[in-house]
Amino acid sequence: MSVLIAPPRPEPATRPAPGGRLAVPRVVAVFLAATLLLLVVGAVHLTQGTSTVGALDLLRLAAGADDEAARVLVASRLPRLLAGLAIGVALGVAGAALQSIARNPLASPDTLAVNAGAHLAIVSVAAFGISLPALPAGALAFCGGLAAAALVMAMSAGGQAGTTRLILAGSATALALSSVTTLLLLLFEQATIGMFAWGNGSLVQSDLVALTQLTPVIVGAVIVLVLLGHRLDILALGDDTATVLGLDVRRTRLTVTVLAVLLSAAAVTLTGPVGFVGLCAPVIVRLLAPVVPGVHRHRVLLPLSGITGVVIVLGSDVLLRAIMGGQAGVEVPTGVVTTLFGAAILIWLARRHRDAGPTRRPPGGHAAVRSPAFHRTVVAVTAVVTVAAVTVGMLAGDTWVLLGDLVNWVNGSTGPAYTFVLDQRWPRVAAAVLAGAALAVAGTTVQAVCRNPLAEPGILGITAGAGLGAVALLTFVPLAGVWAVSGVAGLGAMLAFALVYGLAWRGGGLSSDRLVLIGFGAWQGGTALITYLIVAFDPWNTGKALTWLSGSTYGRTSTQVLPVVIALLVLTPAVVAARRELDLMTLDDDTPRVLGVRLERTRLVALGAAALLTSTAVSAVGVIGFVGLVAPHAARALVGGRHSRVLPVAALLGAALVSIADTLGRTFIAPAQIPAGLVTAMIGTPYFVWLLWRSRAVANHPR
């Protein structure tokens, strides 16, 4: 039986047309007010720093009476101020342009993975000890950012197919790119020292060389975008109308995208990725529309977004140093503050959002129907693959053992050397297998409840909460035991889930799209707080936290495996028992209610079980992405959409995937190791790209 779904009507980021008469006096007043605010913030910014030079010293400098103040101003404070000015304009204008061409309120350099692509390109060169001048580095960042943006826009149907789809495509792409970046930071720790803080947006500048080289690029791109403002106004009317009016839609969209990515790449080259400025600045400007008619016109919107972006960047820097002191401006990236602010804006937007995009369809709606015999065969084959993965995991590592040695170890008749090796290895293999199964079951449940084939457990904010709890404990209590780390990580995960679920609940019900968007905001906010803890309190030991956040089984013990075993034994049968309800919830909200399912209670219980499974897995092996996304999809492709069949196959596939990733990470560059989470990201990324393309084709050609 086919399920008929009405064509979606995505919610535009801007008005259908920037119509209405332009209120010139009000627009001028807004520009004057924004400029005055910028001057005030800039003046306060100049008075802050690590030296004792204050406002009175700077005033005396105006009279030419203080050489010390002049040296401080020229060497430190003025470069920092000008860097904030440059990236604020670049990111604000880039965000406004991207939102306009995507017609999506949450399009930005962050959500389109532009910053992640540019960051990876620069770190890739730095990892091999190559130091590039500003312009070549900017060109490299531009290529990386443009490739990432092109991938996300293509996979999300140009960004217009729904806010939720764009966020999921961008976040997963950024996760994959960030995983590779983290791998380079771990493998080439000496060559990339200091780039962890820079990778979160630091305004610290040693001189004005890079700024003077990149400023003409930023100014030129902004001017061209403003000149294209009239074309963007026409494009806002819709592609068909714009084409009738003589606009080359494809060329305009391509030109604006290239210019926006160029601005983002210049900002990343100068200060690293400063998060969410490109999202917040245009949103704030558009909020003025009721009192300032015509603010949606792009020749007003673009420059005003640039000014707002500067206020956000410099204001965040002022706030950081006012609360934590001048030294914090050196140690803590300004991007941490802007990301927290952006996460709050994103959550606020999500609470106001309604989306019926193409992702709101049954996850298994297009899976083939399989016979019971075929299902049994698939279960048997995946079980054999999982057993083989476990066996190879026990044999492989920095010390290889033979199958006979493994049999002897099971029988208790090996020598001391092999006994020691296998005693240390089996908890790691068990942790990988059990965590993979838990994440797969959780992912299957989340996708069913959210009716979103691109959702995964991390999007509920669970992994960010677990990571924040564990890193906080590792930072302040370095000698904490494994049970303490696991317990605090689990507590953080459940608190984050409770927060996300509570914020997503509105009007007596739960919107699945709102849940995903708020979860993404919580994920970004949690990541920013983790960065703050690392760079502010333990800057010389970033490898420790990065390894845990990348999902590693290193040093795991049997006691850390026990919580995952308990969670699987208790919660998996509960999820299996609710298989009928999960099948119904994948259809729509009305069918389960008609058939007697208490929808809200079932959702809460199912998501709670997924959160507990994920938190125990994260507490055991750290943060591992893509398993909860890839394993359920592969299972549905093999056995169809019924959860009685999907759950066991997904659990086996998840266990095999993490076990294989862990084995590869332990053996590929032994005795050095690659965290399992980074390997799963590399394995899962190609599958995810194919999945996005497939779901895009289905969305554009509904059956």
**Per-residue pLDDT tens digits for 493-515:** 888 888 888 887 765 566 666 77
Residue ranges, CATH 1.10.3470.10, the chain: 24-331, 372-700
Is residue 506 helix, strand or coil? strand
User: In terms of pTM, does the model score above 0.85?
Assistant: no
Mean pLDDT lowest for which of 220-229, 353-362, 459-468? 353-362
Average model confidence (pLDDT) across the chain:
78
Q: Which two tokens stand for residue 248?
A: 């080359």
Structure-block tokens of residue 555: 């040093």
CA dihedral 162, 280, 102, 293 (to 10 degrees): 110
Amino acid in the structure at residue 243: T
Question: What H or E segment, with its residue span, contains residue 516?
Answer: helix 512-537
**Span of 195-204, 221-230, 409-418, 540-549 with lowest mean pLDDT:** 540-549
Three-class DSSP category at 326? coil
Q: Which two tokens stand for residue 557?
A: 């013990």
DSSP structure class, residue 10: P
Say how many C-beta atoms besides its own lie within 10 A of residue 381's C-beta.
13
The CATH architecture one would assign to domain 372-700 is Orthogonal Bundle (1.10)
Report the distance separating Cα 621 and Cα 551, nearest Å.
5
Residue 635: what residue type? A
Q: Measure the CA–CA gap between 689 and 177, rounded to whole angstroms.
A: 13
Number of C-alpha atoms within 13 angstroms, CB side, residue 383? Answer: 7
Q: In which residue are the tokens 């673009």 written?
A: 302
SS3 at position 510: strand
Name the one residue in this structure whose structure tokens are 């404070």: 77
- The predicted pLDDT at position 156 comes to 66
93 or 680, which is more confident: 93
Range 24-331 classified under CATH 1.20.120.1200: no
- Distant-in-sequence, close-in-space partners of 188: CB < 8 Å, separation ≥ 6: 126, 127, 128
pLDDT confidence bin for 662, thresholds 50/70/90: confident
Which residues are within 8 A (CB) of 526 and not within 5 positions of it... i.e. 6 or more apart? 461, 464, 465, 467, 468, 496
Both tokens assigned to 466: 């677990």
Q: Give the separation between CA 624 and CA 463, rounded to whole angstroms.
A: 9
Residue percentage of the chain with pLDDT more than 70: 81
